[in-house]
Amino acid sequence: MATTTAAISVASSDLTGNALSLSSTNTLYKAGTVIGLDQTTGLGSKYYAAAQSNATLISAATYEDNTANWVYLKNPGSSTEDYFTIELGASNIVIGRLYGGDWMWIPYEGEQDIDISSSAIKMTLETMVIYQVA
């Protein structure tokens, strides 16, 4: 059984007027069990020579509804102006932008596609899905 633990730490000396330091960890389990997730797409990167608009990045058809899936996305670029817009579903509901160096880690229900749009040409996006096979 695979054991995968995700962790995040946030620290600031001046965000709230007091020092802030928080961290959280989560072991990734199959839905409703204590059996570890054991499937992954592997860490990959996609290079986009042309600007993208509502392009499917992660197809919901690949993942089963109501299972435990986690998505990692990162813009490894260094630009403070160029970004990827992360969108959900056929309506392309924007859930955020990833500027150079930004990343996101989200639970994914596998019901809607995850799409992207890019603000420029010649951009790269790192991706990985850790998922459950029912």
For 68-101, write each residue's pLDDT tens digit: 999 999 999 999 999 999 999 999 999 999 999 9
- pLDDT value at position 17? 82
pLDDT over 90 at 64, yes or no: no
- pLDDT value at position 1? 67
Do the Cβ atoms of 131 and 40 come closer than 8 Å?
yes
pLDDT over 70 at 19, yes or no: yes
Which candidate, 127, 104, 131, 130, places its Cα nearest to that of 56? 127
Do the Cβ atoms of 129 and 58 come closer than 8 Å?
yes
d(CA 132, CA 14): 40
> What 3-state class would DSSP assign to 74?
strand
- pLDDT value at position 2? 84
d(CA 113, CA 64): 12
Residue 133: band (very low, low, confident or very high) from pLDDT cuts 50, 70, 90: confident
Token couple for 126: 């790192």
Where residue 109 falls (left for φ over 0; alpha for ψ -120 to 50; beta otherwise) is alpha
Return the minimum-mean-pLDDT range out of 6-15, 47-56, 64-73, 75-84.
64-73
Sorted by where each starts, the structural domains of the chain and their CATH numbers stand as 39-131 (2.60.120.10)
